Structure formats: structure tokens, C-alpha cells
A and B are shown apart, each in its own frame.
Chain A
Amino acid sequence: MNAIMPYVFPVLFALVIVALLPLVAGYIVLMERKVMADMQVRLGPMRVGPHGLLQPIADAVKLLLKEDIIPENADRLVFWGAPLISVTTAMLALAALPIGPFFQIADLNIGLLFILGISSLGIFGTVLGGWASNSHYSLLGALRSAAQLVSYETSAGMAIVGALLLAGTLSTRGIVQAQSDTGWWFIFVAPVGFFIYLVASIAETNRAPFDMPEAESELVAGYMTEYSGFRWALYFLAEYTNMIVVASIATTLFLGGWLRPFANTRALNFLDYLPPLLMVWVAGYCFRRTPKQPVAVQKMFMAAVGVLCIVLAGVLAMPLVAPAGSLLASSKAGIHGAFWFLFKVGAYIYVFMWLRFTFPRYRFDQLMRLGWQFLVPLSIVNVMGIGLGLALHRQLNWPNGLSLPLGNALTAVAAAYLLSAAEKHEHPRVGEEEEETPVHA
């Protein structure tokens, strides 16, 4: 019995994640459509459920009932297995992420490397799927995807190394703990590193403005052109899971993981009341909209959503009002930690959507130039800058407040130099040699 005990909670937690993930991915899609609609001054899905709240369920049912087609000359086994690779690797990567101090499947010594390594295997799902389809669009999409991922993994990895130097550990829990100890989230200590990771993670998840692998105006749907039904849904699930994974990495590394803003400042402890108040505010909005729903069923549903929010607010508020020392009060770190972690992940994903609906798609050569000529050198300088800052602090006893900004300044100078070099490349002066004339699309 004692031999099994340590595995009970991780297994339970893994089951919960795997069971909830499709639902979460579905609602991220809904959120994306709603955000897009909002930015384009329209309403978005409104028909299925109040404010389109049941749209993901309807979409899922539609997807599962669709005919499953395997192209005639496809490599059947690979075609069948490729989406599985994508989904499995994406889900495995979630295992090492700490959703609050108590909710984590496994705290590994190699935590962050594990996430990176496993999610780097996901590319096989894309590439093999594109190859097995036996279609030109699919193959081209897969090739673009592989090229893009390999290019941007380098700079993302180097950006992560910068933050790892600050944390001094690979364990995801240890990284958050390091930010808690110093009281500074790493985004403030290594802002350039965060910027590099943000750009690289958008490219890695194949999202606009870097969505070349599935550019619908050029490649139909890229590597998933020939997929339909359940298999297509699996690719979609993998894509959104990957989004959650990169957002979680960014949250853990740069945004303080499960920590509340100003977690060490006692004077700002009233911020603990923010999560329940936020929930009450959402509930209030739901109740206000309830009478305006057209059908009785939709009214009831809207009210039910409001009640759910009230319940959540209650759960978040309970540890705050419970007497100190009781079990409830000690569960505060877990519950509020999970709230802040998910909140930050949501905010990061929102930024993804915001960028998607703001920028036009890059050309492929622009994408490669940005990756190799700007982000990769910059991320290497960033590592050296942070290393320099830490060395000055540890070896020569410079104050942290002086040495680390110095390192960042070095990186900023490098960025300015690279930008000016790129500018020259893009608009060469007359007479300067230039082999490929830039095309202005």
C-alpha cells in the first residue's frame, strides 16, 4: 500500500488534465473567435447557448461525426500514427508544469529540459503527417513547419537559458521558488529574454503572424490538408495544447509561476481578495445579461454560469475568511496559486490572439531572416549579458541592481545594432552591393 501511495495523486491529477484538456482547448478556440470578433467590431458566435457558450461542444460533435478519409496513396500506418505523436508529446509536456505549489504531476530535476525535449518531438507528428498524406500542399506545409521550428527552437532555447542562469535550477518548482526568494519576476530581470521567448513561442506554435505552415491562402491548410474528422481534431488539440505548454513555460520562467503580484509585500496582501472579487464581477455580468437572453433555456443557462462563478468565488474566498491555522486556511497557497497560474497563462494566450489579429502574415524569407539574423544572435548576447551581470555580482560583489541592468543594457545595444544592420539590408543605399533585391510585397 505504501508503495502505491506516492503515485495516487499524480495519476489522479494526470487523469484530470487529460480529461479536461479537450474541453479547455475547445473553450480557448471560442475565446479566440470572441476576441477576433471583438477586434473586428462584431459579435462572434452567438447562436449555440447564451453568447455562444456551447459552441465548442457543438463543434466537437460535428468533428467526431465527420467522415474519416484516408487518401488512396497515403502511407496508412504513418497517416494514422502522426496525429497521435503530436497529441501525446504535447500532453506529456504538461506533466512537469507546476499549476500552483500543490498541483503538479512530477517535480523533475530535469523539469524544464523535459518539457523542451518532449515537445520538440511533436514536430515528428507534423512532418510525418504531411509526408504520409502524399499531397504537395501537405508536404510543403510540413517542410515549412520543420524549418520554422528548428530555426526558432534555437532562440527560444537560448532565451530559456538566460532565465535558467538566474534561477540556478532546471526544476520548474525551483524556478518559481527562486523568483519568490528574490522577489523579482524574471521578466523584470531579463526583459529581452522574455521578448525573445514571446516571439519564438509564437513561431513555434505556428500561429499568425508566423503561420506559414498552414497559410490558407497558399497551402490550403498546410500539413493537415488531407486530414478530416477525428484525426484533424487531434491535430487541433495538439496545437492548442502546445499553446498552453509554451504559455505555461513563459509563466513559470518569466512571470513568476503561481506567485501573486508583489507576493512578498505584506502591505499589499489585500490583493488576495482580487480573485474572488473578479469572479463575483463576472457573475454579476452574467446575471445582468440573463433577462436579455431570447429563450427560457438560454436564460437558465446564463444564470447557471453566473452561479458557477459565485461558487468559484466562494472557493477562492474560503481560505481567506477561514480561521488561521485551519486546514482551509492552509489550502490558500494551492487554490490561489492555481488561480494566478491559470490567470497568467490565459493572459499570455490572450497576447497570442491579440498579435494574431493585429499583424499580417510574414513572408517565409522574412521569417527566416528574423529568426537567424536577429533573434538567434540576440539571444546569444542575452545569455552572455545575463552571465556577465551574475558574474559581476558574485565574483566582484557588485550590487545586483547595478550588474544585471548592465547585462541587459549590453543586450539592448546588440539589439539596436542588429536592427540597424537589418535596416541597411532591407533598404540598401544606391551603389552598395546587394545580391538579392528585396521584393516589396
Chain B
Amino acid sequence: MLDQVVFYFFAVLAVASAILVVTRRNAVQSAIFLVTALLATAGIFLNLNAEFLFIVQVILYAGGIMVLFVFVIMLVNIDVALHQVQFNRQWFVALIITAVLAAQVVAAIAVSRGSLYTMPAAPAGTLEPNTERVAFVLFHTYMLPFEIASILLLVAMVGAVVMAKKRV
């Protein structure tokens, strides 16, 4: 019962702030709502007893990436953005496409209702010790994919530096 209440609280918070990210005119306010959405997602992770995922979400997305976002936004001239058209004028076409997509999703769920299977949430305590379990899976079972992903990130970083700096 309490789990459900907590879940819906964070879910509603995440969705509502995600919508506000798009609709706010002011870029800094959008960034604030994006942080809220990310933190709400972290809250859902915590509710699922995934402590490590929760704190990584907070450190990486909210505390790391978003700080850099806000940092860059502050250097941008916000007054210019305030006077520009925020949304594309072809909203009517977009509405139709969205409606079609939504209808598809609803139809898919309705058709496959009987065969949809959701994993039950892990009961409290079974995911302990959380950090060690995540580490074991990452560095043992999925060692190669993990290393490939990290090399990919490294390549992206080096590439960004090379592109940004004329003389390395």
C-alpha cells in the first residue's frame, strides 16, 4: 500500500515536471524541472530497493550532468530565447501524429492484455548488499559489454576535445 502511494507520488512528479521542462519559456526553470524529474526517477529506484541505482542517478544525472547544463545555460543569453517562438507552428500535424501513436500503443496493450507479464518488485532485503551485487554483475557477468561501453564513452570524450580544440 505504502509502496504504491510512494510510487505514484514519484511517478506523477516525474511526468509533471517532464512536461514543465518543455513548456517553460525560461531555460533555467526548465533545467530546474529536469532536475526534479531526474530526482523523482531516482526516488522510484529507491522505492524498488535499488539503492545503488538511486544514488548513481543522483550523483551522475542530477549532481553531475545537470550542474554542467545549468552552468552552460547561465552563459547563454536568456533574453533572446524569451522572445523567440517556443513551439513549432505545425502543431496540428503533430497532434494528429501523436493521436495515431497513442492509439497504436493503446491497441497494442489491449490486444496483448492476457500475455503481458510484469516482474514483481523484489521484496525488501533480498537485494542486499546492493552495491556488491551490482558490482558483481558489472565486473563479472557483463565484463565485456561494460568495458566496450566505457571505451565508447572515452572515444566520445576524446572526440569532443579534439573537435573543440584547434591545436591539441
Contacts and interface: CB of A to CB of B under 8 A. Distances in A.
Interface in A150-189: 150, 170
Given A114-B55, A120-B64, A143-B74, A78 B131 contact: no
Q: How many of chain B's residues touch chain A, expressed as a range? A: 20 to 34
Interface stretch (B14-22, B65-73, B137-145): B65-73
Interface string A81-122: 000000000000000000000000000111001101110110
A305 B76 CA distance: 55
Contacts of B29: 75, 78
B92 to A, nearest CB: 33
Interface string B21-60: 0000010110010010000000000000001101110110
Given A110-B130, A128-B28, A131-B28, A123 B74 contact: no
A120 B67 CA distance: 9
B67 A127 contact: yes
Nearest to B73: A131
A306 to B, nearest CB: 46
Interface string B107-143: 0000000000000000000001111000000000000
A390 to B, nearest CB: 15
B58 A146 contact: no
Contact of B59 (A113, A123, A127, A147): A113
10 contacts: A110-B51, A113-B55, A113-B59, A120-B59, A120-B63, A123-B63, A124-B35, A143-B74, A146-B67, A146-B70
B51 A108 contact: yes
A142 interface: yes
A147 B54 CA distance: 25
Given A109-B51, A117-B63, A118-B58, A127 B70 contact: yes
B64 A124 contact: no
A139 B131 contact: no
Contacts of B75: 143
Given A110-B51, A110-B52, A117-B59, A127 B130 contact: no
Contacts of A114: 55
Nearest to B35: A124
B117 to A, nearest CB: 29
Contact of B70 (A75, A108, A117, A124): A124
B67 A139 contact: no
Contacts, number: 71
| Secondary structure class of chain A's binding surface, majority of residues | helix
Nearest to B130: A109
Q: How many of chain A's residues touch chain B, expressed as a range? A: 20 to 34
B63 A170 contact: no
B70 to A, nearest CB: 5
Given A128-B32, A150-B67, A170-B131, A142 B74 contact: yes
A121 B62 contact: yes
A143 B35 contact: no
Of listed B54, B56, B74, residue having the most chain A CB within 10 A: B74
A63 B129 CA distance: 46
Contact of A109 (B28, B35, B66, B128): B128
Nearest to B78: A131
Given A127-B70, A150-B68, 6 more contacts: A75-B26, A109-B51, A113-B56, A113-B131, A143-B71, A143-B74
A117 B58 contact: yes
A131 B32 CA distance: 12
Of listed B51, B52, B68, residue having the most chain A CB within 10 A: B51
The 8 closest A-B pairs by CB, nearest first: A120-B63, A117-B59, A117-B58, A113-B55, A117-B55, A146-B71, A110-B51, A110-B55
A123 B26 CA distance: 20
Contacts of A110: 51-52, 54-55, 130-131
Given A131-B28, A146-B67, A147-B71, A121 B130 contact: no
A117 B131 CA distance: 15
Of listed B26, B56, B58, residue having the most chain A CB within 10 A: B58
B142 to A, nearest CB: 20
B100 to A, nearest CB: 38
A416 B66 CA distance: 35
Nearest to A81: B32
B28 A78 contact: yes
B74 A127 contact: yes
